[in-house]
Amino acid sequence: MAKVSIDLTEPPSLELFADPMVAAIVLSLFCDRRATDEFGRVGGGWWGDALTSDVGDRWGCERWTQNRRINTAETLRLEEDYDRAALQWLIDDGVVQRIEVRAFDAGNECMGLVIVLDGEIFELELNHGV
């Protein structure tokens, strides 16, 4: 099991990218995906998605749209959905066959994530700071 702690108030350490799967997870979850609001307007995120010929091929995660919300049950469920969608490319590209994501309140302005990729467990602790 890989255990990773990320302080979102600081620049990421290069050590995060030593393990290729941890690097894939971190980049997938913390690069901003372009998002559509309830009125159909697109904003934020990776501009390169506008250039792809495959409409469904989008990069990054929409977790940035939550804008530091409190770890309620609804927020954690949304994080799981956003993270699962951000990691879907690993299945689409044949890197893994199965993805599981569980978000939980780790206390003290922290969110915990357990990500299981084909049985390999990655536990992330995200410190959002104040």
In angstroms, rounded to a whole number, what is the distance separating the alpha carbons of residues 82 and 88? 10
In angstroms, rounded to a whole number, what is the distance separating the alpha carbons of residues 116 and 32? 22
Q: Is the pLDDT of residue 62 over 90?
A: no
pTM above 0.85, yes or no: no
In angstroms, rounded to a whole number, what is the distance separating the alpha carbons of residues 75 and 66? 8
Q: What is the mean pLDDT of residues 54-62?
A: 72
**Band of pLDDT at residue 114, cut at 50, 70 and 90:** very high
* Contact assessment for residue 115 and residue 124, using Cβ atoms and an 8 Å cutoff: yes
In angstroms, rounded to a whole number, what is the distance separating the alpha carbons of residues 90 and 101? 13
- DSSP helix/strand/coil, 98: coil
In angstroms, rounded to a whole number, what is the distance separating the alpha carbons of residues 31 and 23? 12
Counting other chains too, the contacts that 91-100 makes at CB distance below 8 Å and 24 or more residues apart are 95/24
Highest mean pLDDT range out of 29-33, 73-77, 99-103? 99-103
In angstroms, rounded to a whole number, what is the distance separating the alpha carbons of residues 77 and 63? 11
Q: What is the mean pLDDT of residues 9-26?
A: 88
Residue 119 has what DSSP assignment? T
Q: Is the pLDDT of residue 130 over 60?
A: no
